Amino acid sequence: MKHDVLTLDAGASGDIDLDESVFGVAPRADILHRVVRWQLAKRQAGTHKVKGRSEVSYSTKKIYRQKGTGGARHGSRGAPIFRHGGVYKGPTPRSHAHELPKKVRALGLKMALSDKASSDRLIVIDSATLEDGKTKSLKAHLEKLGVRKALFIDGGDVDAGFARAARNLDGVDVLPSAGANVYDIMLKDTLVVTRAGIDALTARLSSDKKDDAA
């Protein structure tokens, strides 16, 4: 399908053919949810930790004699039933990551891209370069494009000046095509992709079809 291409100043710069198998997939909430959940679980630090009975700072001496007190039998003040005692089966450091098939991940990315394209929230620009690397200059370009909260996806490498200028703009992120992911795409109102980014994403996601055919 055809899509208009703009310059960074919002001028016309021809058009581009978007692959229907990448930018024309009907989105499914369950697939997008699975991929986002997989991303966030993998990102979670998992450093939560509490002290168990063997780790609390108490003497291990038996607190009173076993029999004859009229009370229950106890051996340590570090038991979970006592104040400041160890926690029973509390959280320990672990990874929250779980498996998700590669095909589901690729399908989720196609759906996220297709959702932006079908809702007219996809802007294709000729290139994302900024020689002076000034935030003020980039802000002026964004006003011409009519975007505020946007994710920019470039080809293999991101222009250093453009990335430096975007660093100080709230709500604007820049990624290479290899870093494109469902969570960041869905998080932003607008997706802005360069010609090189479109080619790279198409090549990346079309390889899945070739693998299936083989």
44-60 tens-digit pLDDT = 999 999 999 989 988 87
Q: Which of 132, 118, 125 shows the shortest CA–CA distance to 192?
A: 125
Q: What is the pLDDT of residue 179?
A: 94
Per-residue CA distances from 152 to 70, 122, 131, 192 (Å): 72, 10, 17, 5
Mean of all residue pLDDT scores within the chain: 91
Q: What is the pLDDT of residue 75?
A: 87
Q: Which of the residue ranges 4-8, 117-121, 208-212 would you say has the lowest mean pLDDT?
A: 208-212
203, 182 Cβ separation under 8 angstroms: no
pLDDT tens digits along 7-37:
998 899 899 999 999 999 999 999 999 999 9
| Residue type for position 40 | L
d(CA 57, CA 91): 19
Residues in CB range of 142: below 8 A, 6 or more apart: 148, 150, 169, 172
pLDDT at 209 over 70: no
d(CA 111, CA 28): 7
d(CA 203, CA 197): 10
Segments of the chain assigned to CATH 3.40.1370.10:
2-45+98-213
Q: What is the pLDDT of residue 211?
A: 53
At the topology level, CATH places domain 2-45+98-213 in Ribosomal Protein L4; Chain: A; (3.40.1370)
Q: What is the pLDDT of residue 210?
A: 52
Task: Read off the pLDDT of each residue in 146-163 and give the average, rounded to a whole number.
Answer: 92
